[in-house]
Structure 1
Amino acid sequence: MTSHLTFRAATAADVDAIAALVHAAYRGESSRAGWTTEADLLDGQRTGPEEILEAIGATDSEVLLAERDGALLACCHVQRRGPRCYFGMFAVDPEHQGGGLGKGLMAQAEDLARNRWACSVMEMTVIEQRTDLIAFYERRGYTDTGRRSPFPYGDERFGIPRRDDLAFTLLEKGL
């Protein structure tokens, strides 16, 4: 019998596990087991305990976890910003990518934004060089707004760039 996936809001007790999951999904050699790696673009941490704890404790903010048998497999952050919600810190364990887990968590996040906060749009920023990841989001109904913002060079909270041409693109989806 296959155990089912459960979703819940993160607490302060989850901070270290979330930081490890996000790092494993995006940075370093462990991230190469999945397809979401940024290891060729950035070194250093993806997010730290302080940022995660802040997201957990913020008003109109939830860090959503997906677990199976008590093991953390995926996470994301949803934050209300007026009539819009921001989707970020999305990570799926590299060993579990490609099986629909991320799609399920995104659906939960969109439901939360729509039903709890009555948001009409979900938005996110993605490094524009991550064309494979942008294509994944586009298959889920997100569109490229054409708006770009600079990568925060010099702020190691976002990582240590391996290139000098990084920028973010804003994607959005009507809810």
Structure 2
Amino acid sequence: MPTGALVFRSATDDDIPALVALIESAYRGDASRAGWTTEAHLLEGRRTDSEGVAAVVHQEGSRLLVAERDGEPIACCQLENRGDHAYFGMFAVRPTLQGGGLGKVIIAEAERAVRAEWGAEEMRMTVIRQRTELIAWYERRGYRRTGVLSPFPYGDERFGIPQRDDLAFELLVKPLG
């Protein structure tokens, strides 16, 4: 495992290929099974692609936060300014580094950054409701389930190929005061 200090920065175009690989490795396929955040049992196919990551990098009011060690991206997350709150998404930690506390550090930095940079008073995210272990992890970080569901985009393979017909996203929120 790399030993250097953890550095946070905004993603650039040069990061896109490495970030696509990182995000894919955390969510889909056999590589994702090395960590605990896999959704390979729920979805097959791709989690994202170069165009999807580039859209986040270039979107006005959006930032793809990269955590790197020794110059190598090991985690990332999307932060989007939505006025009174920020949206948190595309969270990925290298599977072989999951379970060691790195995710807690990344989400804490994301929360600090949106308060400091945008004055966000709340962080929101959507999580596939069937991912109970992941939702429990977010609850331990202070997020609460709202019961507000939004449909999974069935038929749009940009989000993966569902392996069941009851997927939905649940809104989680956390005050940042």
Taking structure 1 as the reference length, the TM-score comes to 0.98
> How far apart are 1:93 and its partner, in Å?
0.3
Q: Distance in 2 between matches of 1:119 and 1:89?
A: 19
SS of aligned partner of 1:36: coil
Match of 1:20 in 2: 21
Distance in 2 (CA, whole Å) between partners of 1:2 and 1:80 is 33
CA deviation after TM superposition for structure 1 residue 4, in Å: 1.2
**Residues 25 and 32 of structure 2 are in contact (CA less than 8 Å); yes or no, is this contact kept in structure 1?**
yes
Return structure 1 stretches of 4+ with deviation > 4 angstroms: none
Instruction: Provide the aligned C-alpha RMSD in A.
Output: 1.0
Correspondences of 1:63-102 after superposition (within 5 Å): 63-102=64-103
Mapped to 1, the partners of 2:71 and 2:89 lie a distance apart of: 23
Find the aligned partners of 1:108 and 1:156 in 2 and give their Cα distance. Answer: 31
What is the alpha-carbon distance in structure 2 between the residues aligned to residue 109 and residue 40 of structure 1?
28
| Residue of structure 1 in register with 2:170 after alignment | 169
Query: Within 5 A, what are the aligned runs for 1:147-162?
Result: 147-162=148-163
Map of 1:107 onto structure 2: 108
* 1:31 corresponds to 2:57: no
- Give 3-state SS (helix, strand or coil) of 1:108's partner: helix
Question: Which deviations, in whole Å up to 9, do the C-alpha atoms of 1:28-85 show, x marking residues without a partner?
Answer: 0000000000010000111111111111111111100111101111000000111110
Instruction: Give percent identity, aligned residues only.
Output: 59
CA-to-aligned-CA distance 1:61-113 (integer Å, 9 cap, x gap): 11001111011110000001111100000000000001111111111111111
- How far apart, CA to CA, are the structure 1 residues paired with 2:117 and 2:133? 31
Paired residues for 1:4-15 under 5 Å: 4-15=5-16
Q: Which sections of structure 2, spanning at least 5 residues, go unmatched?
A: none
Q: CA deviation at 1:172?
A: 0.5
- State how far apart, in whole Å, the 1-side matches of 2:156 and 2:18 are: 23
- Give, in angstroms, the shift of residue 2 of structure 1: 3.7
Q: Which amino acid aligns with 1:106?
A: I
Task: Name the SS of the counterpart of 1:141 in structure 2.
Answer: coil
Structure-1 separation of matches of 2:24 and 2:144:
26
5+ residue gaps, structure 1: none
The aligned runs of 1:38-77 (5 Å cut-off) are 38-77=39-78
SS of structure 1 residue aligned to 2:33? helix
Give the structure-2-normalised TM-score: 0.97
Verify the 8 A CA contact 2:3 2:70 in the aligned structure 1.
Answer: no
